Structure 1
Amino acid sequence: MTKVFVTGATGFIGSAVVDELLQRGYQVTGLARSDRSAKQLTDKGAEAVSGSLTDLDVLAEAAKQSDGVIHLGFTNDFNHMDQAVKQDVAAIEAMGDALVGTNKPFVNTSGTLMVAFTGRPATEDDAGDPSQLRTESEVTSLNYAGQAVRATAIRLSPTVHDETRQGFGTIAASIAVNNGYSAYFGAGQNEWPSVHRLDAADLFVKAFERGVAGTVYNAAAEEGIPFKVIAETISQTVGIPLKSLAADEAKAYAGPYFGPTLQINNPTSSAKTQAALGWNPTHPTLVEDMTTFLSSPANVDHLKNN
């Protein structure tokens, strides 16, 4: 039985990847930072390895003992992204070095934001912008393709979603709820790609099974949703006013990080990914899941208090 080592195995996306692997008959070992996480894995029928992304010896040994790695773990500390990426690169190198010369699959996680502002829908062939910190992680992992590792990277949309949370979509809703109005910027035509977490999980497993070494795959089920549509969905569902703001008002509305982020234009094509791996997203859209989530008063109250 093929044994897969998964980091981030109890996270929002990683837990779905573990479920997909188990359903397909794989043996799964997941990295677990706590007893609770370990129990979540063992209750599913997976094995747990105790440790964190900073335990490089643990990562290396688990990778060595596996038939391949899916790396989803990441410290999402938006205030210290440079340190988060530094930690991620060290983890990638620990696992990648353990796989050198084996031709085993190593699927890494990156993001579509590193190919934003291309002036057109980004494709799998677009190189990551060096100014985007996670580009270093992607490049580090793909370099192992030249060392007999079947290294690939999945660029996740910033709005990975289901009916319980919607990535940057939920953050946008929280910002709106706490401001008392939902805003877009200018005409609101900047676009965000999206992918349902179950479609993303399917893509990770497909890349593990037959991804081509050195290749990037785009996890974008929806190529681009105008941000105005997202803001309108929040406004209409929650029942708060909708406003257009100037770009220089974004920081006061959303803060120093998310002010610019809400204005990012990141349409992303997955045409090559779908053709190469036979990936056919089938799950609900971002707007459908946001509408379901925001229709719950309890969820809206939670956004007000967090």
Structure 2
Amino acid sequence: MQKVFVTGGTGFVGANLVRLLLQEGYAVKALVRPNSQLDNLQGLNVELVQGSLTDRNLDQAMAGCQGLFHVAAHYSLWQKDQKILHEYNVLGTRNVLAAARTAGVDRTIYTSSVAAIGVKQGAIADEAYQSPVEKLIGAYKQSKYWAEQEAIKAAQSGQTIVIVNPSTPIGAWDIKPTPTGDIVLRFLRRQMPVYLHTGLNFIHVQDVAWGHLLAYQKGTTGDRYILGHQNMTLKYLLDQLEQITGLPAPSRSIPAWVPLSVAWIDETLLAKLGKTPSVPIDGVRMAGQLMYYDASKAVQELGLPQTPIVDALKDAVEWFVTKGYA
């Protein structure tokens, strides 16, 4: 039985990955912060170790593990969080990879994001494309780019590291929830009277978990693999939710300047008055782009599953309802 170390196991992708690893016969040791919400790991046969990505003794926690899945990342689109994004995502990744090297971990999967690749205007991006870092919108995307550079440098130095770049996962165990889960949730609560014209690449979160394991088993060190499936507009996604739930999808779109104006007031004016902003400027700026990706490399080289997105939406709806979110 192989023993693997997982960071980010309490989160959306991590919780699905941990379940898959246990199902496939791996022993799992998971890093959790002292204040982590552990609901996603309740009842699972997982060895928990408290700590942070920046701890100096992480190599001791990884001792005896053959593999590492570094899934954890700080997600925030707020401009004020630039420092913590760099500390957690970039410096934290550097520290985790160094600890794995010291501990003698044989193989590492680093969870990057399509956010690190960027958007190919008017086209569909694959692993060969890279947007200039200065054109990546917001501190989060830029932190994921620089974190991925840490993984590339470590691989070039001889460490066995495979990079995976998930697109937009949908499904169960979205505990926070993620921005996409929040769309599903607001739809269920009938809190979405209008929509913004944007597009994303979506994938079932269980397929993302499989993508991690397949990359661990088959991936080429130093390579990156987009874990995605279907490119679709937000409107199409909402229409699918209407068919699943029987609730009406919004029929009116709004121009991007409307939420952008709200976001600017929220984040630059109200925040200075001590009020909690609700709409991030960078989030609205991102939504102005069609964020489409080609996952054929992962499908062909790894065997990445391509579960219909309607199944992912059904699983998400069922989970949110069962857990009392909606």
Which category of TM-score, normalised to the shorter sequence, fits these structures? 0.7 to 0.9
Q: Residues 65, 75 of structure 1: CA spacing in aligned structure 2 closer, same or farther, 3 A cutoff?
A: same
Partner residue, 2:46: 46
Conserved 8 A contact 2:32-2:52: yes
Once residues 199 and 296 of structure 1 are traced to their aligned partners in structure 2, the CA distance between those partners, rounded to angstroms, is: 17
Secondary structure of the structure 1 residue equivalent to 2:253: strand
Residue by residue over 1:104-157, the C-alpha shift from the partner in whole angstroms, topping out at 9 and shown as x without a partner, is: 211111211333431321111223541331100111112111222111211111
Change in CA separation of 1:35 and 1:169 when aligned onto 2, cut-off 3 Å: closer
Alignment-derived partner of residue 162 in structure 2: 152
Q: Does 1:104 align with 2:116?
A: no
Tell me the CA shift for residue 260 of structure 1.
Answer: 2.1
Structure-2 separation of matches of 1:71 and 1:235? 36
The runs of 4+ residues in structure 1 deviating greater than 4 Å are: 34-42, 163-166, 173-180, 233-237, 291-299
* TM-score (normalizing by structure 2): 0.77
Aligned equivalent of 2:128: 125
C-alpha displacement at 1:91, in angstroms?
A: 2.1
Q: Give the AA of the match of 2:16.
A: A
The whole-number CA distance in structure 1 between the counterparts of 2:191 and 2:40 is: 36
Equivalent residues of 1:155, 1:219 under 8 A apart: yes
Report the Cα offset of residue 18 of structure 1: 1.4
Relative distance call for 1:294 and 1:257 in structure 2 (3 A) is farther
Partner of 1:8: 8
Query: Does the C-alpha gap of structure 1 residues 233 and 22 become closer, same or farther in structure 2, counting only changes over 3 Å?
Result: closer
**Which residue pairs with 2:73 in the alignment?**
74
1:182 matched residue in structure 2: 194
Deviation by residue 1:198-229 (Cα, 9 ceiling, x = unmatched): 1111110111122111110111022x112221
Deviation at 1:245, TM superposition (A): 1.8
Compare 204-213 and 57-66 and name the one that shifted more. 57-66
Q: Does residue 244 of the first structure (1) align with residue 253 of the second (2)? A: yes
Change (3 A) 1:81 1:107: farther
Task: State the one-letter code of the partner of 1:125.
Answer: A
Q: In the alignment, is residue 191 of structure 1 matched against residue 203 of structure 2?
A: no
CA RMSD, aligned part only?
A: 3.3
Q: Tell me how far 1:29 sits from its aligned partner.
A: 0.7
Which of 138, 146, 150 is 1:140 aligned to? 150
The equivalent of 1:94 in structure 2 is 95
Query: Is 270-279 or 96-105 further displaced after alignment?
Result: 96-105
Aligned partner (choices 200, 222, 229) of residue 221 of structure 1? 229
Q: Matched residues in 1 for 2:155 and 2:39: separation?
A: 34
Q: Is 1:264 the equivalent of 2:276?
A: no
Shift in Å, 1:60: 2.8
**C-alpha displacement at 1:295, in angstroms?**
8.5
Change (3 A) 1:116 1:91: closer
